[in-house]
């Protein structure tokens, strides 16, 4: 079992290591890439969500064997660390194990991780994905918690001294995303912005990217433009 690994390619932008905790995700985002990457039937991926067998024990063995310490570990790429409606005790155990070995975690979720905020500190990052506003949100991410709930958790994390970030990727509604950046900048430490890939779109990505970058600069936000969006911005 490859419990903890070094991300490659575009994924390497996120952290030193990564852990994928669950076998699937109930959020049913229409743009989800995980079933294709994992060669899983899409319906099975969204309906069968459970912790990977023996993940905590194998994670501990690998941390000990490879002496992985002092690293930032991303949770997660091919699943959500807080799948809505599921028991997330395993996520808590994974975080505890990683931190026991001197590592920090970078969480990215469309669920709610507030239950584990007591484990996090100023070296950890709590992040949420935001792609659009309502009503598009309900159709595009029908199983995820609401945008309001995600932002509440993010603000609470900031209040507790946890680093906060937002992944605005894939962007489905540029105006809603820009409004969110502007309205929530006071409790966000970092943003990452990326375009919608592998799906048709009539969005002017170059203009959107320039608008997002200008807004982040004006607000003094730490930001990162994903490579595919930057390429659109650089076109003449």
pLDDT over 90 percentage in the chain: 91
The number of domains in the chain is 1
What is the overall mean pLDDT for the chain?
Answer: 96
Residue 67 is predicted with a pLDDT of 98
Asked if 112 contacts 42 with a C-beta cutoff of 8 angstroms, the reply is no
What is the token pair recorded at 83?
Answer: 């799948």
Residue 60 is predicted with a pLDDT of 98
Residue 198 is predicted with a pLDDT of 84
Residue 236 is predicted with a pLDDT of 85
CATH number for the domain that contains residue 39? 3.20.20.70
Closest-CA residue to 54 (of 93, 107, 85)? 93
Residue 107 is predicted with a pLDDT of 98
Residue 1 is predicted with a pLDDT of 59
Prediction pTM value: 0.95
Q: In this structure, are strands 163-168 and 190-193 parallel, antiparallel, or unpaired?
A: parallel
User: In whole angstroms, what is the distance from residue 226 CA to residue 6 CA?
Assistant: 19
User: In whole angstroms, what is the distance from residue 236 CA to residue 227 CA?
Assistant: 16
Beta bridge partners of 222: 190
Q: What is the pLDDT of residues 198-233, one digit of tens each?
A: 888 999 999 999 999 999 999 999 999 999 999 999
Residue 154 is predicted with a pLDDT of 98
User: In whole angstroms, what is the distance from residue 75 CA to residue 81 CA?
Assistant: 6
Beta bridge partners of 4: 19
Beta bridge partners of 125: 106, 163
Residue 14 is predicted with a pLDDT of 80
Residue numbers of the domain that contains 221: 4-233
Residue 208 is predicted with a pLDDT of 98
User: In whole angstroms, what is the distance from residue 182 CA to residue 166 CA?
Assistant: 13
Residue 31 is predicted with a pLDDT of 93
**Residue numbers of the chain with a pLDDT score lower than 50:** none
Order the strands of the 163-168 sheet from edge to edge. Answer: 4-5, 17-19, 72-75, 104-109, 125-129, 163-168, 190-193, 222-225
């Amino acid at each position: 079992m490859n419990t903890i690994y070094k991300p490659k390619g575009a994924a390497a932008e996120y952290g030193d290591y990564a852990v994928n905790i669950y076998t699937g995700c109930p959020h049913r985002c229409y743009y989800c890439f995980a079933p294709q990457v994992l060669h899983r039937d899409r319906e099975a991926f969204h309906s069968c969500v459970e912790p990977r067998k023996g993940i905590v024990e194998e994670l501990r063995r690998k941390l000990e064997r490879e002496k992985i310490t002092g690293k930032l570990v991303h949770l997660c790429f091919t699943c959500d660390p807080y799948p809505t409606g599921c028991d997330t005790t395993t996520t808590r155990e994974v975080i505890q194990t990683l931190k026991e070995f001197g590592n920090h975690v970078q969480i990215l979720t469309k669920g709610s991780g507030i239950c584990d905020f007591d484990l996090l500190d100023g070296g950890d990052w709590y992040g949420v994905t935001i792609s659009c506003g309502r009503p598009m949100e309900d159709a595009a991410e029908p199983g995820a918690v609401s945008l309001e709930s995600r932002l509440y958790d993010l603000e609470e994390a900031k209040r507790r001294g946890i680093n906060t970030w937002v992944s605005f990727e894939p962007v489905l509604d540029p105006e809603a995303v820009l409004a969110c950046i502007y309205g929530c900048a006071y409790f966000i430490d970092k943003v990452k912005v990326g375009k919608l890939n592998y799906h048709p779109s009539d969005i002017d990505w170059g203009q959107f990217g320039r608008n997002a970058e200008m807004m982040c600069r004006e607000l003094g936000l730490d930001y990162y433009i994903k490579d595919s969006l930057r390429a659109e911005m650089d076109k003449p």
